[in-house]
Amino acid sequence: MYSFSQVLRRAATVNGRGVATRFLGRHTTWTETAARVPYLAGALHTLGLAGGDRVAILAVNSDEYFQWLFAIPWAGGVFVPVNTRLAPEEIVYCLNQSGSRVLIVDDTYSGLIAQIRGELGSIEHVIHSSDQAAAPGCVSLRELLARSAPVPDAGRGGDDLVSICFTGGTSGRSKGVMLTHDNLVVSTLQWAFEIGVGRDDVILVVAPMFHLAGAINAFAAAVLAASACIMSRFDPRLVLQTVAGERVTKAAVVPTMLNAILAHPDFGSFDLSSLRRITYGGSPISDTLLRGALKALPHVQLYQVYGQTEGGPIIAVLKPADHQTSGPTAGRLASAGQMIVGTEIRIVDADDQPVGHDVVGEICVRGLTVAPGYWNLPEETRQAQRGGWLHTGDAGCLDADGFLYIVDRVKDMIITGGENVYPQEVENVLCAHPAVFECAVFGIPDDRWGERIHAIVRLREGCSVGRDELIAHCREHLAPYKCIRSVDFRTEPFPLSGINKILKRELRAPYWQARQRQV
Amino acid sequence: MYSFSQVLRRAATVNGRGVATRFLGRHTTWTETAARVPYLAGALHTLGLAGGDRVAILAVNSDEYFQWLFAIPWAGGVFVPVNTRLAPEEIVYCLNQSGSRVLIVDDTYSGLIAQIRGELGSIEHVIHSSDQAAAPGCVSLRELLARSAPVPDAGRGGDDLVSICFTGGTSGRSKGVMLTHDNLVVSTLQWAFEIGVGRDDVILVVAPMFHLAGAINAFAAAVLAASACIMSRFDPRLVLQTVAGERVTKAAVVPTMLNAILAHPDFGSFDLSSLRRITYGGSPISDTLLRGALKALPHVQLYQVYGQTEGGPIIAVLKPADHQTSGPTAGRLASAGQMIVGTEIRIVDADDQPVGHDVVGEICVRGLTVAPGYWNLPEETRQAQRGGWLHTGDAGCLDADGFLYIVDRVKDMIITGGENVYPQEVENVLCAHPAVFECAVFGIPDDRWGERIHAIVRLREGCSVGRDELIAHCREHLAPYKCIRSVDFRTEPFPLSGINKILKRELRAPYWQARQRQV
């Protein structure tokens, strides 16, 4: 058995003088971090926290957020990081659904409390984690610390719950994924092994820490006794400046971020020589963007990471050696790589029967770090894990060499005239058009075909292109039944999920208002 | 949950054409290995093997041994690798104590069966794993396969038992350490992360596979889908020849092996340029040997590995960067490095209370992969794991930077005139004498001092030195009470344990025959 507290103690023992966190120019060592955590845990004890109680966090990334991720388990609690991009009623849902007793908010979100306080059934205390005076409905952390004392590690670990992470909810209501201490430590170790990072790394944490894709970078800094360079918001220029200034060696981005960074006019004016590795994932990447990244960052090793909160979180990794833009293995660039150590993948048909090579079906996974299930949702857990395999909801296939090709979300599949079309394939073709900056493809109601393939497109600055040209471009590269039939152009940004996935659900809704879409 | 079967399937999926095993010039791919295993498992089912049944192996290292390590769990069994260097009655003890139903022997050990068959209480069948006719008391594998069929994976994994490994027993009776599927997979992953090996490695397996120190190299080849280069016996010239011939990249040795390799007259005549990493451990290493290795193999990264079967098995690693022979951190060369990821170390006094930096006490450990206990020995398990910490029986201390210094086995400590002396410190000094090849130091009865410090010394070829000169050499480097009082010279090799540790128990016994030594 192992625990988050042991992770922290080890980091302080083997690299006490090392910089644990870098945040807005503030460097904090592992010794300092390990010294602070028992005080924060003491504040939770003052509020009556007991073993296994849930403590939610609603805050932007910061070094203090990082410390809470260790202080809550140290106090015996389970941390529930809340997606800050949710609407207030969705936040209330996560807090109530997790049965959290304590909520921690920062200056950015403390103002929300007065608005939602009355709807929070289980929350007994809201801590305003700040140097400022407490917001209405909150207790000030400073004042709380003044009447608390540091406490010893509560000693939970192993199979004890350490976190409940709510899924992004790009489709349907968000579910709380249960994660244990061993689960998160081993998955971080798997990740670190596959990516090849170690104690000397300065790991950029710019994806939000309320999502495992961001948080695993923070956990890795601790498990490896390395350094986490934490950013509270994504801004492409600020990322470039931070990488150069803090000599970041490893960054994790989602494709929309990568696109914005590479397209930034100041991209060439920063010294990015410290950067050795970039992991990307969280949503599909277009071939155009990927080739652009390989060209723009020739000294950086690129790793595509495929996973989901329930799934370990990492399921497959496409290694730098498999990022060939030409030659016999160039086709692998379109894949998500191979299953990582400690993980097994299989593809099944609609009857849950395994299919052969190159046949598309639902991606299922089992392995060392698959989450034990959804919090308080036994039926959803049973359904997702039927037959001992986690059903990811993603459609894909495995080739004869074990490379995984992800086609799309099973639920996003369009059925048009009896044919199955996965939007991602169409989006890939559209994004290859020089005028297209971003796009989203989905099915809309059609009396003749059931569903008709529709695209919403954002053009590159200064570019213009018409509907007919885009349709002709599709016809050049796709079977006729996969081609878009209609296009809407849009200038404002796409609605994004917490992890910067395009929220197709929101884009699609207006077209389906009149009728219920069949799933 | 994960399993040995999943490890094998993954290796065959992601690197099917890769060479799994290299043995006496025979290369076998992962696809071939994964195809063979269900047949071997079928043979076990033909003999009536059921889930959780123990299957013992008594054999020298080979590619077939490697396949049995996967076939037994595939069939639902628990493998019990037996130390081949034990006396027949000790072998019988391990087989009976583990309650094994089936025993697998190779050509080297099949002859023993007629002699011990009558004493084997639980063994129902002995498989002679060979192309030859079955030895008396055995069933031929070939014949068994002819009346068997391949079977599907039994599906055990996670916290299910996968192996019972008997401890070396350098002191006292051997105990069976229980290891689970997840336990061994995660510990192999920890090891691979710390050592930095991956799929491209050719890993030498020359230490016996019946011991985890050898077997973890074989497991790593499978977990990483890399290549295991297996040798059936240790011979320094053969090791050099194999490293050169198979382009071995990673070797694991115990100090006695390293000493023999470096001292071999043909050392300089082989191309060892493929070798990138050597792990050494299993017993104390002298400063002289370590400096000699650094000098003789400047292109190789050296990792000292400290652990024990019960302990994960790896507890601490001294990394290449900490192998400095001069400068401010040169003192770390005498350490076993820092605790690895997923592991926590503490040092306790005789009352199990933690001690401060630089204070010698018993090394205790807890972490992800500590073994759940001893097979059928609940009292020994409780005693070893009291307070939630595994007590290693090793004496050592931690410095302020978390470096672990191992002093000796707690039980090997000599009490002379009321002072505690750890033999290893004295051995280190003796080995630094240019005429000394190997030595063993221990306490022998003394009417005045209780115990008196005695050494048995093997000299280098062509060297000679007298008792007085060695005592004078000790006085130069040690406090007077730590100096040897008597010496015996010896030309024949020392008795060695399965993992090539010097068996002090045997060396010491004749001196204590007249009385019971106080422990």
Q: What is the pLDDT of residues B315-367, one digit of tens each?
A: 999 999 999 999 999 999 989 999 999 999 999 998 999 999 999 999 999 99
Contact B14 A402 (CB under 8 A): yes
Nearest to B223 among A6, A186, A341 (CB): A341
Q: Looking at CA atoms only, how far is residue A400 from chain B in angstroms?
A: 8
C-alpha to C-alpha distance for B264 and A24, rounded to whole angstroms: 58
Average pLDDT over residues A20-30: 97
CB of A183 less than 8 A from some CB of B: no
Q: Looking at CA atoms only, how far is residue A223 from chain B in angstroms?
A: 6
Q: What percentage of chain B carries pLDDT values higher than 70?
A: 97
> What pLDDT does residue A258 have?
93
Average pLDDT over residues A134-138: 94
* Cis amide prior to A208 (ω within 30 degrees): no
Give the range with max mean pLDDT: A187-196, A403-412, A469-478.
A187-196
Q: Is the pLDDT of residue B170 over 60?
A: no
Of all residues in chain A, the one with the smallest CA distance to B192 is A193
**Domain A413-512, second-level architecture:** 2-Layer Sandwich (3.30)
**Domain B30-180, second-level architecture:** 3-Layer(aba) Sandwich (3.40)
Q: Looking at CA atoms only, how far is residue B501 from chain A in angstroms?
A: 29
Which A residues, 189 through 218, put their C-beta within 8 Å of a C-beta on chain B? 189-190, 192-193
* Of the candidate ranges A64-78, A407-421, B286-300, B370-384, the one whose mean pLDDT is the lowest: A407-421
C-alpha to C-alpha distance for B471 and B469, rounded to whole angstroms: 5
CB of B383 less than 8 A from some CB of A: no
Q: Are strands A404-409 and A390-398 parallel, antiparallel or unpaired?
A: antiparallel
Q: Is the pLDDT of residue A442 over 80?
A: yes
Residues in chain B with CB shorter than 8 Å from the CB of A344 are 2, 6, 9-10
Q: Place A390 in a pLDDT band, splitting at 50, 70 and 90.
A: very high
> What pLDDT does residue A50 have?
96
Nearest to A189 among B193, B339, B402 (CB): B193
* Of the candidate ranges B52-66, B141-155, B433-447, the one whose mean pLDDT is the lowest: B433-447
3-class state of residue B180 by DSSP: strand
For domain B234-410, give the fold.
Rossmann fold (3.40.50)
Q: Place A52 in a pLDDT band, splitting at 50, 70 and 90.
A: very high
Q: Which has the closest alpha carbon to A184: A80, A10, A72, A312?
A: A312
Q: Place A517 in a pLDDT band, splitting at 50, 70 and 90.
A: very low
Residues in chain A with CB shorter than 8 Å from the CB of B2 are 342-344, 366-368
On whether the pTM is more than 0.90, the answer is no
Strand ranges across the sheet with A277-281: A26-29, A19-23, A227-230, A202-205, A250-253, A277-281, A301-307, A314-318, A338-339
Average pLDDT over residues A168-186: 83
Residues in chain A with CB shorter than 8 Å from the CB of B402 are 13-14, 16
> What pLDDT does residue B174 have?
81
Phi/psi of residue A47, nearest 5 degrees: -85, 5
* Of the candidate ranges A95-104, A150-159, B167-176, the one whose mean pLDDT is the lowest: B167-176
pLDDT tens readout for residues A213-230: 889 999 999 999 999 999
Return the CATH number of the domain spanning residue range B415-512: 3.30.300.30
Nearest to B342 among A189, A342, A402 (CB): A189
Of all residues in chain A, the one with the smallest CA distance to B220 is A341
Nearest to A9 among B185, B342, B344 (CB): B344
Residues in chain B with CB shorter than 8 Å from the CB of A192 are 193, 341
Q: Place A499 in a pLDDT band, splitting at 50, 70 and 90.
A: low
Average pLDDT over residues A22-29: 97
3-class state of residue B177 by DSSP: strand
Q: Is the pLDDT of residue A151 over 90?
A: yes
C-alpha to C-alpha distance for A431 and B61, rounded to whole angstroms: 56
How many CB pairs lie under 8 A apart between chains A and B? 89
The one-letter code for the residue type at A376 is N
The strand pairing partners of B421, in sequence order, are: B414
Answer for the pair B344, B152: CB distance below 8 angstroms, yes or no.
no
Q: Where are the domains of chain B?
A: 30-180, 234-410, 415-512
C-alpha to C-alpha distance for B146 and B108, rounded to whole angstroms: 23
Chosen from A31, A193, A343 to mutate, greatest number of chain B CBs within 10 A: A193
Nearest to B342 among A2, A14, A367 (CB): A2
Contact A16 B189 (CB under 8 A): no
Residues sharing a CB contact under 8 Å with residue A253, sequence separation 6 or more, in sequence order: A206, A207, A261, A278, A279, A280
> What pLDDT does residue A514 have?
63
CB of A402 less than 8 A from some CB of B: yes
Q: Looking at CA atoms only, how far is residue B343 from chain A in angstroms?
A: 7
Do A28-180 and A413-512 agree at the fold level?
A: no
> What pLDDT does residue B446 have?
85
* Of the candidate ranges A11-15, A99-103, A308-312, the one whose mean pLDDT is the lowest: A308-312
Considering the four listed CATH numbers 3.40.50.620, 3.20.20.150, 3.40.50.980, 2.60.130.10, the one that applies to the domain covering A28-180 is 3.40.50.980
Residues in chain A with CB shorter than 8 Å from the CB of B6 are 344, 366-367
Residues in chain B with CB shorter than 8 Å from the CB of A10 are 339, 341, 343-344
The mean predicted confidence, pLDDT, of chain A is: 92
Q: Is the pLDDT of residue A341 over 70?
A: yes
> What pLDDT does residue B519 have?
34
Residues in chain A with CB shorter than 8 Å from the CB of B401 are 14, 16
Chosen from A7, A186, A339, A341 to mutate, greatest number of chain B CBs within 10 A: A341
Residues in chain A with CB shorter than 8 Å from the CB of B5 are none
Residues in chain B with CB shorter than 8 Å from the CB of A341 are 10, 189, 192, 223-224
